[in-house]
Each structure stands twice: as structure tokens, then as C-alpha cells.
Amino acid sequence: MKTTIALTAAAALAAKVSAACWSQSLGYSCCTNASTPVVYSDNDGDWGVENGNWCGIPVPETCWAEKLGYSCCTSTSQVVYTDGDGNWGVENGNWCGITTGSTPGPSPSPNPDPTPDNTQYKISGNPFSGVEFYLNPYYVEEVENAIKQMTSSSLKAKAEKMKTYSNAIWLDNIKNMQSWLEPNLKGALSQHQSTGKDVLTVFVVYDLPGRDCHALASNGELLANDSDAQRYKTEYIDVIESHLKKYTAQPVVLIIEPDSLANMVTNIENTPACAESETYYYDGHAYLLKKFGVLDHVAMYLDIGHAFWLGWDDNREKATKVYKKVIDSGSPGKVRGFVDNVANYTPWEDPTLSRGPDTEWNPCPDEKRYLEAMYKDFTSAGIKSVYFVSDSSRNGHKTDRKHPGEWCNQTGVGIGARPQASPISGMSYLDAFYWIKPLGESDGTSDESAARFDGYCGHDTAMKPAPEAGQWFQKHFEQGLENANPPL
């Protein structure tokens, strides 16, 4: 093995390449990465050794992304999108420029630095139809990190496919809303400008005062009091409105406050925290409906829980009154419809179940029958726009839960139907299957000593050990991939 390198005059005079692999023009390969130890340096550059052969250590490129207002990637070389400026990756949920060569990945999320225009998109009919679905860069990064923990090539291949599907972006506190709303609106606009196609982005509005009053794992940052209710309006809803008014060229779907109104139907009398939140839930909904419901490029869906929450006849009757009251209170704002099964596991169809003792006489033991019933109830009540989006992110495989009301990190989980517009023939009122709760993000911690521990997360069929709500749960993610139906 040589300890020095004597380059010939001809080689020394060869044209040097300013890109990473400068040593190829000298007859040597480039080292596989810039962190290869330097063994020797000369006027051409730094040299290393790999597999007993000399290689040129790549010269890091300047951070070209900085001139566009973005940092360069420091821990990823996974290309999520490529445009005329270069290759783009994602770190910490933000776009970054990749300064070393890499093979483009699944695309199509963009360089999010477009020039806003004054084009006004107007939703007419099903907002999920005839559009591309925007990829959530934060989730792409979560999946990339999950893949690094896997050893099975089969499982890795399934996870790679997950990066190609769209899911909702949760604005679950004021800070996350400020960090994630505008960058992703920019991303959708840039994707539109680079592809010429309309790009739909789905956000979850989720920060009511006294949020999730009947649960512990997912309580929010704002309390059920007048001061925090004002913060909800001015620091959260008003800011969302200002960004939506700025980015009008692309369609946006808003999933409105999961679990909130369903709690108003069933838990006012038995849960003091829900009774304390009642005024703020109704007032918050009326406020946001008036703000968002008049925007032509925005469609809203109010959450209606799931089949084993409001499916019984008496609960549906109460629900009809609650939802009509809320919709009327938001006039002139309009809603497109309703969303079911958010973050839940109830199958779309389960022919093994029927109304009887095993289902506590629930006439709607799966989501399909639940939506069929709710469609009839809501239209009969005079609600004008009755369309549904069903969360299919985790209901492809029947879980092990002993009671269909169990909701926390259920074992036996499987990814469900892929995001798709108008997926069921004969159900014109079903706008889409869509992934609203991202598979792999925990429902709640199983640590009984934790302040946010909820008893449901300690049940026999809840996977353990589980992290806090919203944190990554690798084991749950992997089981969801294995049990995917249809298979990945």
C-alpha cells in the first residue's frame, strides 16, 4: 500500500471537476462520503482509502439553499423533490437543500419557495376529486427514520411505499400551527406551479380550549376559560385564516376538532370537564365556521366520532341536533360535511357483526353502516351538505380489542384503504378515504405514572410500552405495515 501519491504531470494538468467527484478526472474514484478519514493531501485535494484503493474525498458543496431562505441538510441525503435549484430533503419537518449527490426518492413534494399569486381556486363538489394529494414532509421524515431502525428488507420495502401516500398535517398547538401551516401551503403551491396540477393539502384544526375533555392522553394546551378561549381565536384561528387568505390558488381541506362535538353528544352529563368546555366548544366552532366557511378554496368536515361512539339510535338522534345547531351558528360559513373514525380502528365493513348483544345492540357496527345511517339522519334534519371523509389509516385489519370502544394503540392494527376520492360505488356522498391519523404516531402513553396516562392505554389489547400521544411508536408502525389491507 502506498504512503504517498505521485501523480503524473498529465494527470496533474487534467481538468479538475468542481463537483463532488473531482478525482475521477485523475483516474481515481471518489470516496463514498465526505467523512472518510484524510490519509494524504496535495494540490488536487484530500485523499482517503477505501477497499485498499485511493479515493478522492468529496468536496462539500456550498449551501446553495441558503440563498432561497432554507438551510442545507445535515443528517439526510434522501431526495424528496428535485427542481431547477437542486435536490431537496426534509429535516425536523422543514425543507433543506441536499449538497451531495443522491438518487431521487418517491417525490412529489416541492421546493417550497414559490411566488404567491392572486389566483382564486374555487371548490365545486368533491374537493378530493381531480387533484393531486400533497405529501406531508414531516411524516416522510418520520418514516425515513423508522426505516433506519428496521432490519427486514420486506418491511423496509413496505415502509418505503408509505412515503408515497398523503396524510393530514395536524395543527395541534399554536407553535406547530405557526411552524407547519404556511410552509406546507407554500409546498402545495410550488408543486402546482411545477406540475401544472391542482394540489390538495389536508390540515387538522385541533386546539380547542379544554380539548378532548373526556380523555387524558390528548388534552391540549388551552384550558376551558375565557382567557384561553380568546387566545384560541386570536392566536390560532385568526392566524390560520390569514394564511389561508394568502394562499388561495390551491384547494385546502380542514378536518375540524376531532372528538369535540361527539363529546358534546355523549359526555356532557357524565364528565365535568366536558360540561366546563361546552360553551367554549360551541363558541369556538361558530367562530371558525364563520372565518373558514366563506373561503372558496377551503372545505371543512366536522368530526362525528365513529360507529361505536354515536352509532346507536339515541346517540344519532342527539347528534343530529348538536351538529345542526353548530352548522347554523356558523352562518354564513358553510361546511362540506363530516369526518368519521379519526384516529380509530373500526373497520369499514365487518360482516361478522350485527345488531345484538355482542355489539350492545348497535345497529351500526362498522363505519359503512354508520355513515349510511348518519346520511339519512342528517339529510332528514335539513342539513344541506352531507358528505363524508372516512379515516382509513388504521382500520384495514380487525384489531384484538375486546370492546369496540377501546381506542388506544390497539394490537392487531393494520393500515387500511389508500387515500382515494369517491372510493365506494353507490355511495356518492362518500368524498374520500383518507389517512388522517398517521400510522406510527402513538395514541397515548402506557406509563401509569405519567400525568397524561389514560386507563385505556393500559388495557390488555393496548400495545406496550407506548410513548406519549403523538410521539413515534415504532412497534405499532411495523405491525400496521405487516397487517396492511390491501397489502402494501
| Catalytic center residues | 259, 443
Residue-wise burial string across 286-295, b where 16 or more C-beta atoms lie within 10 A, e elsewhere:
bbbbbbbbeb
243 known ligand binder: no
Asked whether residue 344 is marked as a ligand-binding residue, the answer is yes
Long-range contacts of 2-7 (CB under 8 A, 24+ apart): 2/54, 3/40, 4/40, 5/40, 5/42, 5/47, 5/54, 7/42, 7/44
- 54 labeled binding residue: no
| Helix or strand (DSSP H, E) at 151 | none
Q: Cell 400521544, residue?
A: 469
d(CA 87, CA 89): 7
Q: Check whether 441 is labelled as a binding-site residue.
A: yes
Instruction: Report whether 348 belongs to an annotated binding site.
Output: no
Distances in Å between the alpha carbon of 298 and those of 122, 124, 273, 342? 8, 10, 31, 20
Angle between helix 174-195 and helix 137-148 axes, rounded to 10 deg:
100
The answer to whether 312 touches 404, Cβ cutoff 8 Å, is no
Give Rg (Cα) of the chain: 26
Q: How many CA atoms lie within 13 A of 66 on its CB side?
A: 5
Q: How many CB atoms lie within 10 A of CB 484?
A: 21
Task: Give me the sign of the Cα torsion angle 299, 303, 306, 310.
Answer: negative
Of the candidates 391, 371, 367, 368, which has an alpha carbon nearest to the alpha carbon of residue 379? 371
DSSP 8-state symbol, 215? -
> At 442, which amino acid appears?
S
What angle do the packed helices 272-292 and 313-329 form, to 10 degrees? 50
State yes or no: 170 annotated in a binding site.
yes
d(CA 381, CA 383): 6
Q: Is 315 annotated as a binding residue?
A: no
- Helices and strands per DSSP (H, E), number in the chain: 12, 16
Cell matching residue 184: 406546507
Q: Are 486 and 420 in contact (CB under 8 A)?
A: no
The grid cell for 229 is 378561549
Q: Name the amino acid, one letter, at 268.
A: I
Binding-site positions = 170, 172, 306, 309, 344, 407, 437, 441
Binding-site positions for substrate = 170, 172, 306, 309, 344, 407, 437, 441
